Chains A and B, each alone.
Chain A
Amino acid sequence: MSEKKESLFSKKNRKLLSDPLNDNNPVTTQVLGICSALAITVQLKPAIVMALSVLVVLSVANVVVSLMRNLIPSRIRIIVQLVVIATLVILVDQVLKAFVYDVSKELSVFVGLIITNCIIMGRLEAFALGNKPWKSFLDGLGNAFGYGWILIAVAFFRELLGAGTLFGYPVLEKLGLYEMGYENNGMMILPPMALVTVGVIIWVQRMKNRDLIES
C-alpha cells in the first residue's frame, strides 16, 4: 500500500463537506427533511439534540449502505435502506431516553420521524448507493451539518424573540430590555412562525447567491 490514490482530505472531499453548508444546503436548496425539523425549533436545546441525532443516523447510515451498495438488489433497496435507518433510529431513541429523558419527551414522535426524514433517504439514494464509504461518510456529515445549522438558526431566533431566553437563560431580562418597554413576541413560539423564519432564511440566502433563484 505504498501509493495513495487520493488523500483523505483532498479538495474534492473537502467540497463534499462544505457544499451542503451553503449552496447545496439540504433544507433550503434540496428541500429535504423539513418534515421532522420545524416542530422542534421552539427552543435551542431540543433543536441541538435533534441535529446531533440526525448527524449520527445520517453519517452511519451512509457508511453502512455504501458498504453494502454492491450487495443490495435494486428492487428491494428501499426496504433495505429503511431497515438500516430504522435500526439506527431505535438505537438513538434508546440512548436519548436513557441519558436526556426530558428532551426525549419533548421531541416525542419526532425522534421516530427521523426514519422518514427525506434527507436520510435522499442522501442514501443519491450518494451512498454510488460512492465509497469514506466519501459517503463525508457527504453524510456535510449534509447533517447543513441541516443542523438551519435548525439551530431557526431555534435561536424563535427562542430569543419568542421567549427572550437562550438555552433557558433569560438573556433579554439581563440586558434590561423589559424595563425599556420591550415585550416578547409570543407569536414566534407558535408553529407557523417556524415556516416564516425558514422562508426568510431562504430569501436571504438567495439574495446572496443569485444562481439559486427559481425562474
Chain B
Amino acid sequence: MQELVNIFIKSIFIDNMVFAYFLGMCSYLAVSKTVKTSVGMGFAVIFVLGITIPINYLLENYVLKQGALVWLSDSFVDVDLSFLSFIMFIAVIASMVQLVEMIVEKISPALYGSLGIFLPLIAVNCAILGGSLFMQERAYNSIVEATVFGLGSGIGWFLAIVAIAAIREKIRYSHVPAPLRGLGITFIITGLMGIAFMSFMGIKL
C-alpha cells in the first residue's frame, strides 16, 4: 500500500509529465488559453492514461517482453518481441481513443460535448505514449502499480495545464513586452513553474 502511495505522489509531483519530461507540450501550449477548455483536456488525459497504461502493461508482460510468451508454450522462452513495442503501444492508444470516443458519445452526450473535441487530439499526445514507454522502462511489479502510475501522471498533467491556463488568463491584463507576448512568455512561465515543482524533489519517498 505504501508503495502505491509513493508511486502516486511521485508521478504527480516529482516526475511531473510536463515539468520534468516536457511530455504533451504541444497540446499543453495549444489548449491552455482558457481554464474551461484546459479542464476538459486535462480530464481527457487522465481518462486515457488510466485506460491505456494498464492495457499496455498487460501487452508488455504477456506478449512483448522476452520470455513473456511462456504462458503459451515453453518453447517461446527466447522470443523477444520488444522491438515491436512502439507500434503495438501506438496502435492500442489510437484504437482505445477511438473506442472511448464512441462509448462516451453513446453513454453521455453531455460529457462528449465537453471532452469530445479533445479526444482525437489525445491520440497523438506524447504524454500518453510517453506514459506507456516509461511504464515499460521502469518495469512496474503489478498492474495495480502501473494503473496508479497512469492515473498519477494524468493528474500531474491536469494540474500543470489548469495552472498555466489560469496564469494565462490573468496575464492578459499585464504589460508583457510585445515580442514575448503569447508563446514566449508561456514558455518562460512554464520554466518558472518547473523550478517551483523542483522543490518537491527533496521529498524522500
Q: Which residues of A contact B (CB under 8 A)?
A: 28, 31-39, 78-79, 82-83, 86-87, 89-90, 93-94, 108-109, 112-113, 115-118, 121, 190-196, 198-200, 202-207, 210, 213-215
Contacts and interface: CB of A to CB of B under 8 A. Distances in A.
Interface stretch (B48-56, B65-73, B121-129): B121-129
**Main secondary structure on chain B at its contact with chain A?**
helix
List of 3 A-B pairs having minimum Cβ-Cβ separation, nearest first: A192-B194, A214-B182, A199-B187
B113 interface: no
B28 to A, nearest CB: 9
A39 B83 CA distance: 23
Given A109-B133, A199-B180, A37 B124 contact: no
Contacts of A39: 21-22
A115 B85 CA distance: 12
B187 A198 contact: yes
A158 B134 CA distance: 25
Contact of A35 (B20, B22, B90, B191): B22
B29 interface: yes
Interface of B: 19-26, 29-30, 83-87, 89-91, 94, 120, 123-130, 133-134, 137, 177-188, 190-195, 198
Q: Chain A's interface: helix, strand, loop or mixed, by majority?
A: helix
Nearest to B192: A192
B179 A207 contact: yes
9 contacts: A89-B86, A108-B137, A109-B130, A109-B134, A118-B126, A191-B19, A196-B191, A203-B179, A203-B184
B183 A191 contact: no
Contact of A116 (B84, B125, B184, B185): B125
Given A94-B83, A206-B179, A213-B178, A33 B26 contact: yes
A115 B129 contact: yes
A115 B93 CA distance: 12
A83 B178 contact: no
A28 B180 CA distance: 12
Contacts of A199: 180, 184-188, 191
Contacts of A196: 187-188, 191-192
A194 B22 contact: yes
A199 B125 CA distance: 22
